Structure 1
Amino acid sequence: MNNERRLELAKEEEELKRRIAAIQREQIEEREKDLVRIVSNFKAELTSYELTLDDAIKLFDLPQVHLAQSSSINKVAKKSTSRITHREPNGPGTWAGVGRKPRWLVEAQAKGALLQSFEVPLS
């Protein structure tokens, strides 16, 4: 590759870096605009229901309300608990066999370990 082409590529790279930086700045600005809009709407809703910010903060500490299968908005969903089915041998990691496998298990399997070797016996 000749020097002239290298210079062209370096200039193109610098231009791309400037464009990426401009896009990232615009993304940050748009996110901030969204947050301002969301907070403004939230404040308006609080005011319309004669609630305070403290009232809203207290609601964040309540158990989640299950809306999808409930006819009553005020029913509180029961938190499901799964039995631990797999345990990391020399660490704190556990897995109930539901959802994504934890990193420690994926890494162990990548090294050749069998899933069954981490199973917790039924008690």
Structure 2
Amino acid sequence: MTRTSYNTEKSRLEKEMAKIQKRIQSLQAKQRQPKIAAIVRSMREYDISPEEIAAAFSRKPASRARVASPRKAATATKRVVAPKYRHPETQATWTGRGKAPRWITDAEAAGTPRESFLIAAESA
């Protein structure tokens, strides 16, 4: 008896949910019509064609394009920094900028001072 009442209640709620979803879709359609009419009115006022709108949708937003161009300019003007530290066995180098590489941090943890990896001025 519980199973039948569960199934009937479930089907009743599903039907009710379907009705509510249809009402939501209807309400959204009613809200969209005035917006579409305003857009069409603006397009006519400013003589904008649907092709122009489609082209605007296909390209990247202007705000992203402006942000990307200074980054490109900054990377193009970066200078190469000479290495300051060298691992004696692997010959791996580090400029001394940014996060220290693992071979430096491991050596420091083992008690070797960072200065022992300095590259001599005459060999650089």
TM norm. shorter chain > 0.5: no
Say which one has the larger Rg: 2
After TM superposition, the score normalised by the length of structure 1 is 0.44
Choose between structure 1 and 2 for higher RCO, CA contacts under 8 A separated by at least 6 residues: 2
